[in-house]
Amino acid sequence: MVVFVLDQHKRPIMPCSERQARKLLKEGRAVVHRLVPFVIRLKDRIVEQSVLQPLKLKIDPGYEATGISVVRVAEGKEAAVFFAEVHHRTDIPEKLLSRRQARWSRRSRRTRYRKPRFDNRRRPEGWLPPSAEARINWALSTVKKLLRWLPIREIIVESAKFDTQKLQNPEIFGVEYQRDELTGCEVREYLLEKWGRKCAYCGKENVPLEVDHVVPKSRGGTDRVSNLTFTCREGNQTKGNKLLQEWLEELKRSERAVDRKRADNVPKVLSQLGEPLKGAAFMNAARHALVERLGSLGLPVFTATTARTKYDRTRLSLPKTHYFDARCVGEVPDKLEVAAEYVQVFRAVGRGRRQMANFDRHGFPRAHRLRKNVHFGFATGDLVVAEVPAGKYAGRHVGFVAVRASGYFDLKNFLGDRVCQGVSWKRFRLLQRFDGWRYEKFKSAALSSPGLKARASSAA
């Protein structure tokens, strides 16, 4: 794993290997600046006394994860010295819905006066949906972290553009772009014609029909027409928020005649379910905003196409991963070298919840949360080490703490599993404050890829 190195004034210089970092720490020439990711600070060197090689930061934006690669350019070849992936949260719409419902409930109870807001509010210029805005901010925050730890000179980002109509119909041409599947009718009338004016699941006719989301919105579904169907009230309530694959397994185990009929019709509904286009819509909406915000960091920013990325990845026989896609963004020479053995994962987890009470399984409040977040000098999420002298959890444990007002904390490891519970705060020692991120790493696929020259990390 590459170790980031700072000079006396906390300015980034070239990274080094773990072996070189241990040597510098043992000799007293460096101190630990940060544990996760690991950063050391030299005590006897400044940037002016160091030789800095040109580093490029390559970014492959994505809907679920963003790939990042840092390459060193020297002697007509590039060496990948650092790989990273930014894993995005997918619960932003659910959080917004929960907040909206809480505000509706509060206003209906009249427990807090809120001035009325007008309906003619305008969105500011450059507005993006909250989920897209959050993904851009997470990628931008990660880039800022790397600029503090690495002497990067330029940024290359992939600018992807998707034709969502051609994704649905590859043969579309000309004026057909202006004629979608709803041309000449409304949504409900279109669905009635599509499903033969009967329930899509049980086949009932001449009964009140309801619009149902095949993939429920609570499970990531959208209002796209291909995700809508007509069903009777009984079928809608029976399905609930299950996926069709889950519901189909239940129907196969049932002995009711109506359930057997539903089990026969569910595959027909699945066959007409279109692929979700949320990822393509996000890339189309956010590609310009990400480039503009990266330009405000003071470094030259260049863009590259997805076709060039795919061509280079295929030419070099690299596996399809986020970090290797980032590695192939822009121009890639024939001589390619990988010096990164591990991939650093940046996962945004947030800094807590605005929920002021814990609820039981029936939805009733059972305990109110304290306004205080820090207890005995610790906050939930801090990286700590626990020295437990005796008892069930005797030993030395390193992980993330979950604090309590009583002073007896829990500890979880890097995988999220609980290691010890109810340990006194006096047994804990702070290693690093929680900053809203989780840092993980996994083995890179570089060393096992055919046609790729790879070597272990070494001091730069």
Q: Which CATH superfamily is domain 55-90+128-160+280-349+441-454 in?
A: Ribonuclease H-like superfamily/Ribonuclease H (3.30.420.10)
For the chain, how many residues are written?
460
In which band, very low, low, confident or very high, does the pLDDT at 371 lie, cut at 50, 70 and 90? confident
Residue bearing the bigger pLDDT, 93 or 10: 10
Q: Is 157 left (phi over 0), alpha (psi -120 to 50) or beta?
A: beta
* 55-64, 108-117, 335-344: range with highest mean pLDDT: 55-64
Residue 178 has a pLDDT of 59
Residue 177 has a pLDDT of 55
Query: Tens digit of pLDDT for each residue in 257-297?
Result: 888 888 888 888 888 777 677 777 777 888 888 999 999 99
For the segment 141-145, the average pLDDT, to the nearest whole number, is: 95
Over 60: is that where the pLDDT of 451 sits?
no
Tokens representing residue 192 in the block: 């009635």
Over 60: is that where the pLDDT of 66 sits?
yes
What kind and span of H or E run contains 68?
strand 65-74
| Contact status, residue 67 vs residue 324, Cβ threshold 8 Å | yes
Residue 113 has a pLDDT of 62
CATH of domain 174-271: 1.10.30
Asked if domains 174-271 and 369-434 share a fold, the reply is no
Residue 189 has a pLDDT of 81
For the segment 388-417, the average pLDDT, to the nearest whole number, is: 91
Yes or no: domain 369-434 corresponds to CATH 2.30.30 = yes
The model's pTM is 0.79
Residue bearing the bigger pLDDT, 54 or 193: 54
User: Per-domain residue ranges for the chain?
Assistant: 3-49, 55-90+128-160+280-349+441-454, 174-271, 369-434
Residue bearing the bigger pLDDT, 292 or 165: 292
Which string of b and e fits 26-53 if b means at least 16 CB within 10 Å?
Answer: eeeebeeebebbbbbbbeebeeeeeeee
Over 70: is that where the pLDDT of 125 sits?
yes
Alpha-carbon gap, residue 223 to 274, rounded angstroms:
12
In which band, very low, low, confident or very high, does the pLDDT at 162 lie, cut at 50, 70 and 90? low
State the pairing for strand pair 65-74/378-379: unpaired
Residue 181 has a pLDDT of 60
Residue bearing the bigger pLDDT, 203 or 279: 203
